[in-house]
Structure 1
Amino acid sequence: MDIERGNIEIVFQKIPYMYVIKSQNELVDYCSYNKIAQDIYMRYSSEVFLHTTDDERRNNYLFMCNQMKIHTDWWKNDLNDNIGVFQLVFSLANKMLRLDGNEIKCKFEQLLRWREISLLMGQDFFTCAYLAFDDWKKGYNTQYFAWLPIIRSDDSRLHNILEQGVAENHFHLNGSTKIFELNWLCLMNHISGRNTEFRKITRTMQMQRNDSFDKRGEKESFYTECLRAALYRVYLFLLMKKNKYLFEKAEMLVGKVEKGISLCEITSDIQNLITMAKNLYGAKINDMVLDYALENKMMKWNDNDGRLLAGERKFLYCCYRYILTGQFDRRQKNIFYAYLIMRTDFRGELIQNNKKIGFANFSDYQDRKEYFIEGHKLYEEELVRLALNESLTKKNMLSLEARICPKNSSTKLIKSLKNYERIVKSEPVNNGYDKLIYVLHFPKLFDRPFTEGVPRNNNVRKMVTRQARSIVAMLDKNGEINQHIKGIDACSSEIACRPEVFGQVYRYLASKRVNIEHDICFHNYANAKNLQMTYHVGEDFFDITDGLRAIDEVLLFCNFRRGNRLGHALALGISPEKYYSMKGYKVVLSKQILLDDIAWIYCKSGKLGCLLEEKLKAELIEKYTSLYKEIYENNIRNGPCPSIHEYYQSWKLRGDNPQSYRLDEKEFKKVLKKTELVYFDRFRFNPRVDKRIRENKRYRELYYYYHFNKKVREKGNEIIEFKVTDEYIKLVRNMQDKMINELAYKGIGIETNPSSNYLIGTIRKYEEHPILRFNSRKLKEKNVGENICVSINTDDQGVFDTLLENEYALMTLALKKATDDDMNTLYDIEDIYEWIDYVRKMGINQIFS
């Protein structure tokens, strides 16, 4: 990590704001805007500069102290020289950003650095500082603050390529807006009565910063911290508005807090002050003021989709200007410094930047995206407006595939979609609605405890069945909105439930015959198209083999066909050598999953033509036999251990509806022969599995015990450690190659999401992204193996704070910087841009028509 970026992280994220507050009250420069105590710095720098000695970190501290003094030649001579930590921000912003007309852009060569630091602090933290300093130098006052939610790079060649047209094929609607900004604004303007929302935050996503060595560093409760931030914001705003009457009220409240009065005791006073500021200054949006800092006079220059962001940006801009011109005194500089720390702290609870990997970590962030907006209708609408309109109004956006959850009734689903339609069409000039595609995604949920007669994941099976029927009922109404519904998806944690749970629903909804429901003909049956299919798979797993098996299960159980897609599929392309090395050549998972994985990789590898070494073959058979006896034979006692091939045949039945396997043999065979059309039950058996497998009593029994035997379930849930050998790793790599070839042959595409995969998965560099293994055509003289149709997308662009163009740019720069072991450049720049254009075109080809 470079020193400047690390010091920004320490000063504005790691050091508790309470040090600044305590120093201010005690009138000592223990830790304030112009002096960071060395012992404080050293304590928190160890969390940032992980691989440095104490001596090296002391040098970093001295470097920071020196940088906080005015000495660089790009400052004007008359600059107020008492700006301390803010110079760190001005200096780094100047190195990373530049102004192109009215648009702030990131210098292309700084994009990876920008990505790392802006994810932590927020882009407005730097863009507003850069603009304030640039305007101050030029004697100019910017009026436009409603620029793009995420700024672009200044790579004009990349812009020109992408201007030819792009498709966004993986875009979760509720996770693709400015999550932090909207929650923050709603909270800063409606700070009272928030106990319920804050009670939902049961644990922090960042490392706890309470300092047991120094009571001055102890944090307040999260709600109290935000109360303080709301007070400081309105205080500084009224100071800059020069409203003597209201400022005196704010000054009085700040004074009370400094004297020790609890912020909770004056919550209503803070809210009343905010309300007065809203009534006096705030611009109305649909007859309501959403942010007092978005002033009436600002709307002349900022009335676009980014309007609600403009108020906070101008507030930050003006504070930075006051810092530069010396209009804030020492106390006010500390208040602004503390505000920035608290703002960053709150951001870290909503935007995934805590450097943990895995889907569970992401899911915790995902759950919080609307905590402080729920119930505030206009903020909810702005959430959708920012997510959809900003993207749809771009001329080069040819298609936007928004993922939304289906409802339990067609009425609720139609109402939800109509609301989105209203918001998108509300813009005076907007032809974007025709570009909007909906994919309805079923959330995966964790299983409930064993209940007699109930199969695995029955809670999800019942939920998705209801939701599938609501989708069909809506389609049967033949509304205009149906033209925008193109596909289905299964989202959320793969650890929760496997593709087998969704097999019947997928086959049901993806069949054209779904348009006959209750033997009533669909209104426009002749023109009906199959719903297309995609599936989040191979993103989060206990072992690469487990992720590969999940991908195979999607293809088999959900009856995937040419033109369908997989979301993420990281297990298919990450380096097994690096993955298992990182895991210490051990994986920890349940006995049932390991049993299934071993049977699958043993049998599937033979089917794909992989060479299985005799030593590894013997080890896998031995492990399979041991696990089978533990889980099944010792609990059901129905004869000797079946061969690994027999177990694999039984595994193929898992895409069937498990309730059918509770029937006795006579009834089962009768059901198996039924040919009459019974809408949903028609798809209870997977047509891609040979009927003879179902007719085998041993296979059926194994499948029955898998679902309905309590002892089998309990023993299978026990955790085991599995040691990975070199031979096993070679097999996994060979399996990946063969499955990539299989997907390419079958015409199955992959939706890649570079930043999402970087933050959730195990890759540590963008150039390690599996997209290069899926399809490296155009990048190498000789391409190895088949190429899968791939696309670049954003996933949850709000949670990951990204933009489609920046996903392309990050991959472009990563490839440009990539080197071999001898530090030789890996890729020619012309090949890189040709590859980017090629991926762009594949994204368009992936659009669900």
Structure 2
Amino acid sequence: MDLIRNTIEGLLYDFPIELMGNYITKDDSIDINEILIDIIKRKDVSFTQTDISLLSEVINDTWCTDAEFGISPETSSLTNRILLLMTEFSKHVLNLAGLHNPTVRFNELLRWRTLSLKVGEDILVLPLLARYDTLCRIKRKRFLWPMVLEHDNLRLNAILDEELSDTHSHINAATDVFEFNWLRLMNMPGRKKDKGTFWISSAKKDYDLISRASNNHYPLPCWAVIAATVRAMLWASVTENEDACPITRVMVEEMLESEDSIYNKLESLNPLIATFLENALETSNGIKIDYAIDARDFISDVPSSPYLVHHGERNFLYQWFKSFFDNEHGARENADLMLLYLIIKCKVRREFVQTNNLRGFVNFQDYDHEKVSTLDTEEEKWEKAFREITYRYAVQTSCGDKKRFNLEARVTPNNIRSVRKMNYRQAIFGDSDFLQRNDNPSITLIAHFIKGVDKQKNEFTCRHADLRKTLKKQMNQIINRIGEYSMGNGPHLIGLDAAGSELGCPPEVFAPFFRYAKLHGLTNFTYHVGEDFYDVVDGLRAVDETIHFMNYSAGCRIGHALALGVNPFDFYEERHHYIIIPKQTLLDNLVWLKYTAASNNISLNPETLLLIDCQFSILSSELGYSTISSDMNDYQQSMNMRGDWIDNSEEPKDIGGCYFKWSPITSAAVAPQRVFNLWKHYNHSECCNRNGKKVTVIQVPLSFATDVAKVQESILWNLEKQGIVIETNPTSNLRIGRFNRYDQHPIFHFHSIDEKEGNHSMLVSINTDDKGIFYTSLKNEFSLLAIALRKERNADGTLKWSDLQIENYLKRIVHYGNISRFRQTYIPSGEEVEFESVHNH
């Protein structure tokens, strides 16, 4: 199964578009099978080149043959049969039964996930569904299953069909990011604004590096226009509108031979699509998003399901594959065009769904910035309506049909008012409501501040001066409107968050603003921290400073916190015990490590202490601190002051300044002047800032990992005692973090499966983060961890965990997710409101 999975991935995900285009234009030197085999040789190194060369016979004679429909090497070329690879794979991993929605065999869930993440689920589902329905003589008219298929494990589904809470969901990335972009490209080809990296570069991610480095190929938007042309042509054939279709195979071939002809052909393509759209089903706010969602199919009943958005593309693929198996409408003769369409679709999908093998937050940011790149047109009214649909889709697909679902949607401060006004209960299509008044999912909002890089200009401004100015403005807007945001019919504002790249933007920047909000009734804090770091110590320090500077208490949460779960021994061994890190960060890390260890009664190894002392002497001199004080204790005390409000002249007047002079040093005003001077030097010295950003490389002693591991454990114990909650996001953590399998996720360290074998039993939750970018759902996140645990084996080959142990573990995590969600704590002035504390767990 893994070999056929790699073959499909090689065909759809890795195959160069240009070569497929050359094949269609009759380039006799192109051998699809030979190229595919060459790709697989490099993908699956567990087989020798000789083994893989024999694979061509298996592909040709076994996988791409279907005796039921008379499809064999004797009847057609391999290119016109190669799409049978999908049915050969899917029949082993999917369950089909009558007109019910397809489901994944639970034991095959990881295998399914590995491939479907790369190529999309519909490409794997619809061919098998069309084949099944053709054999069973079923006429299927609705394609309304979830974006991510569910599985057939009844016991696990029973747990996940109870109350669930997604407490870490970014609403703008909770929609099906790729699908909405693809529908725009297919229904409005060539219409765009010149912005967004999708339009100005052929490929921003890692697909086809050779093409990416070459100027002699079409940009990806050109291929999207070709795909739209192929789609329109094939749609016309399966709906028997060929007589009215001006698009021919010859026109497609001309587009493949000349870039100029691509946009010239839009004169024929756009009127055809406009004709198709005349019969398209309108959304409830009056736009048509896909001509393949035919209104005539829903005359008597318009489903309220948000998955009706997917019906058109699924219907197109289904109808074409039905024609392929029935050998009608020239489908088999045009199978190479469908293959080209699917390859282009997968290449575009790679720009929106994070599938590459790169790690770190910067890689994720590339996808995050791209999520709406095609969603900009000159039609402002249309654009506004379209964005409302994507928001409704995000909320409704998160809730599903569950009556007891809790969603904390994170939105930026500037979008709170507009999001609260949107009617998420109304169905995307038709006049009915998706959520009835007696349905009661809890949807609340988290104000989501964005971290930013430091742009200190001179000695007269402090670090992150521009960001602090923005935060002050945004926080005042929230404070002034807190009564409005906490009442009314729209989702209530319930807490505060900050996210974005944490490298170079520490918690100290946000701390005074969060504490200020706390005094005005917003006491629910969560904060993205410990997700991306130069060094494990860097991540641990960020977690510790978040808890301290923001005055965290029981029930507050931290997002990701991967630094608490990464194995320090593996981390340093993989890097050969070298650290590449900015000098200021290194200095702060080492000082923090020494004093945090001491405060937790941890004795550091002599080699680590020597490293700290030597580096402190070097770095404090290079950054100018030693001219003020060469005492490490003074420096550590000045670090404790960083969570204070920097500019006293701008302290809010309505409360005492003590809340902004947060550290014990400044609140008691007992520290020596040199400590204050060190603090001022850090915040205001442009020279210190500039030199501190310079990168250094150091080698740490072998004992360093042991010391870091001890401090890491002490922080975990402290968080557990304080009742701080960790929000985990399995797929997001897997794609961004430093582990490779779901069974390696740190959640199993934060909260042990077996209390007798584990150490920690922290409050943890499982969430989706950016479910459109990671192509997941909340049930899917739980299920992927469950199947990973079921696959684990002991040294003797026996199962490590029983089904009962796994189910009981997930029940606990579901419970923790529900009790750790934020409740409303703001009490409007002049009203008597029953106080429900977030701590009442």
Which residue identity is paired with 1:618? L
- How much identity, in percent, do the aligned residues show? 26
What is the Cα deviation at residue 225 of structure 1?
0.8
Tell me, yes or no, if the aligned pair for 2:425 and 2:433 is still in contact at 8 Å.
Answer: no
- 1:415 aligns to 2:418 (yes or no): yes
Flag the 1:599–1:241 CA change in 2: closer, same or farther, 3 A.
Answer: same
Measured in 2, the distance between the counterparts of 1:211 and 1:537 equals 37
Ranges in structure 2 where 5+ consecutive residues have no aligned partner: 378-382, 824-841
Match of 1:577 in 2: 569
Which residue identity is paired with 1:744? E
SS for the counterpart of 2:526 is: strand
Which residue identity is paired with 1:22? N
Match of 2:93 in 1: 96
Match of 2:13 in 1: 13
Measured in 2, the distance between the counterparts of 1:413 and 1:804 equals 24
Measured in 2, the distance between the counterparts of 1:422 and 1:464 equals 32
Match of 1:465 in 2: 472
What is the Cα deviation at residue 288 of structure 1?
2.7
What is the Cα deviation at residue 419 of structure 1?
2.1
Measured in 2, the distance between the counterparts of 1:79 and 1:43 equals 25
Measured in 2, the distance between the counterparts of 1:505 and 1:795 equals 24
- 1:790 aligns to 2:764 (yes or no): yes
Measured in 1, the distance between the counterparts of 2:692 and 2:68 equals 70
Match of 1:130 in 2: 128
Measured in 2, the distance between the counterparts of 1:37 and 1:389 equals 43
Flag the 1:189–1:694 CA change in 2: closer, same or farther, 3 A.
Answer: farther
Match of 2:816 in 1: 842
What are the superposed Cα offsets for residues 423-449 of structure 1, whole Å, 9 maximum, x if unpaired?
A: 589725434565101111101111214
Which residue identity is paired with 2:43? V
Flag the 1:631–1:816 CA change in 2: closer, same or farther, 3 A.
Answer: same
SS for the counterpart of 1:726 is: coil
SS for the counterpart of 1:306 is: helix
Flag the 1:655–1:284 CA change in 2: closer, same or farther, 3 A.
Answer: closer
Match of 1:668 in 2: none
What is the Cα deviation at residue 742 of structure 1?
0.3
Flag the 1:253–1:42 CA change in 2: closer, same or farther, 3 A.
Answer: closer
What are the superposed Cα offsets for residues 89-145 of structure 1, whole Å, 9 maximum, x if unpaired?
A: 111111111125512111101111111111110111112122112112211121111
What pairs with 1:294-373 in structure 2 (closer than 5 Å)? 294-299=293-298, 300=301, 302-327=303-328, 328-329=330-331, 331-373=333-375
Match of 1:524 in 2: none
Match of 2:667 in 1: 691
Flag the 1:462–1:63 CA change in 2: closer, same or farther, 3 A.
Answer: farther
Match of 1:525 in 2: none
Tell me, yes or no, if the aligned pair for 1:486 and 1:848 is still in contact at 8 Å.
Answer: yes
Say what the alpha-carbon RMSD is for the aligned residues.
Answer: 2.7
- 1:587 aligns to 2:579 (yes or no): yes
Measured in 1, the distance between the counterparts of 2:114 and 2:613 equals 46
What TM-score do you get using the length of structure 1 for normalisation? 0.89
Q: Which of 489, 501, 505 is matched with 2:497 structurally? A: 489
Measured in 2, the distance between the counterparts of 1:220 and 1:69 equals 30
What is the Cα deviation at residue 206 of structure 1?
3.2
Tell me, yes or no, if the aligned pair for 2:768 and 2:778 is still in contact at 8 Å.
Answer: yes
- 1:745 aligns to 2:721 (yes or no): yes
Flag the 1:829–1:428 CA change in 2: closer, same or farther, 3 A.
Answer: closer
What is the Cα deviation at residue 251 of structure 1?
5.2
Which residue identity is paired with 2:127? A
Measured in 2, the distance between the counterparts of 1:717 and 1:160 equals 52
Q: Which of 433, 436, 449 is matched with 1:430 structurally? A: 436
What are the superposed Cα offsets for residues 395-429 of structure 1, whole Å, 9 maximum, x if unpaired?
A: 2543111111102xxxx632332125575897254
Flag the 1:245–1:42 CA change in 2: closer, same or farther, 3 A.
Answer: closer
Match of 1:666 in 2: none
Match of 2:81 in 1: 84
Measured in 1, the distance between the counterparts of 2:469 and 2:95 equals 54
Q: Which of 601, 604, 607 is matched with 1:612 structurally? A: 604
Which residue identity is paired with 1:427? D
Q: Which of 401, 410, 415 is matched with 1:403 structurally? A: 410
Tell me, yes or no, if the aligned pair for 2:162 and 2:404 is still in contact at 8 Å.
Answer: no
Tell me, yes or no, if the aligned pair for 1:283 and 1:295 is still in contact at 8 Å.
Answer: no
Measured in 1, the distance between the counterparts of 2:664 and 2:482 equals 27
Q: Which of 709, 715, 719 is matched with 1:733 structurally? A: 709
Measured in 2, the distance between the counterparts of 1:705 and 1:680 equals 25
Tell me, yes or no, if the aligned pair for 1:129 and 1:316 is still in contact at 8 Å.
Answer: yes
What is the Cα deviation at residue 191 of structure 1?
1.2
Ranges in structure 1 where 5+ consecutive residues have no aligned partner: 515-528, 664-670
Tell me, yes or no, if the aligned pair for 1:442 and 1:490 is still in contact at 8 Å.
Answer: yes
Tell me, yes or no, if the aligned pair for 1:18 and 1:218 is still in contact at 8 Å.
Answer: no
Tell me, yes or no, if the aligned pair for 1:195 and 1:223 is still in contact at 8 Å.
Answer: no
Tell me, yes or no, if the aligned pair for 1:283 and 1:292 is still in contact at 8 Å.
Answer: no
Tell me, yes or no, if the aligned pair for 1:144 and 1:302 is still in contact at 8 Å.
Answer: no
What are the superposed Cα offsets for residues 68-90 of structure 1, whole Å, 9 maximum, x if unpaired?
A: 4427xxx5264576452211111
- 1:267 aligns to 2:297 (yes or no): no
- 1:650 aligns to 2:653 (yes or no): no
Measured in 2, the distance between the counterparts of 1:764 and 1:549 equals 24
SS for the counterpart of 1:532 is: coil
SS for the counterpart of 2:448 is: strand
Match of 1:768 in 2: 744
Match of 1:49 in 2: 44
SS for the counterpart of 2:774 is: coil
Match of 2:833 in 1: none
What is the Cα deviation at residue 250 of structure 1?
4.8
- 1:638 aligns to 2:641 (yes or no): no
Tell me, yes or no, if the aligned pair for 2:103 and 2:150 is still in contact at 8 Å.
Answer: yes
Flag the 1:2–1:428 CA change in 2: closer, same or farther, 3 A.
Answer: closer
Measured in 1, the distance between the counterparts of 2:88 and 2:221 equals 33
Match of 1:189 in 2: 187
Deviates more, 1:18-27 or 1:412-421: 412-421
Measured in 2, the distance between the counterparts of 1:212 and 1:178 equals 27
Flag the 1:250–1:25 CA change in 2: closer, same or farther, 3 A.
Answer: closer
Match of 1:827 in 2: 801
Match of 1:391 in 2: 398
Measured in 2, the distance between the counterparts of 1:482 and 1:70 equals 56
Tell me, yes or no, if the aligned pair for 2:529 and 2:560 is still in contact at 8 Å.
Answer: yes
Deviates more, 1:546-555 or 1:329-338: 329-338
Match of 1:522 in 2: none
Measured in 1, the distance between the counterparts of 2:189 and 2:44 equals 36
Tell me, yes or no, if the aligned pair for 1:534 and 1:567 is still in contact at 8 Å.
Answer: yes
What is the Cα deviation at residue 824 of structure 1?
4.2
Measured in 1, the distance between the counterparts of 2:799 and 2:779 equals 24
Measured in 2, the distance between the counterparts of 1:127 and 1:619 equals 57
What is the Cα deviation at residue 214 of structure 1?
14
Tell me, yes or no, if the aligned pair for 1:166 and 1:396 is still in contact at 8 Å.
Answer: no
Measured in 1, the distance between the counterparts of 2:206 and 2:174 equals 25
Match of 1:221 in 2: 219
Q: Which of 240, 243, 254 is matched with 1:242 structurally? A: 240
Flag the 1:86–1:428 CA change in 2: closer, same or farther, 3 A.
Answer: closer
What is the Cα deviation at residue 287 of structure 1?
3.1
Which residue identity is paired with 2:88? S
Deviates more, 1:688-697 or 1:571-580: 688-697
What is the Cα deviation at residue 779 of structure 1?
2.3
What is the Cα deviation at residue 488 of structure 1?
0.4
Flag the 1:199–1:77 CA change in 2: closer, same or farther, 3 A.
Answer: closer
Measured in 1, the distance between the counterparts of 2:608 and 2:209 equals 50
Tell me, yes or no, if the aligned pair for 2:293 and 2:312 is still in contact at 8 Å.
Answer: yes
Match of 2:828 in 1: none
SS for the counterpart of 2:642 is: helix
Tell me, yes or no, if the aligned pair for 1:549 and 1:597 is still in contact at 8 Å.
Answer: yes
Measured in 2, the distance between the counterparts of 1:218 and 1:56 equals 34
SS for the counterpart of 1:239 is: helix
Match of 1:2 in 2: 2
Match of 1:276 in 2: 275
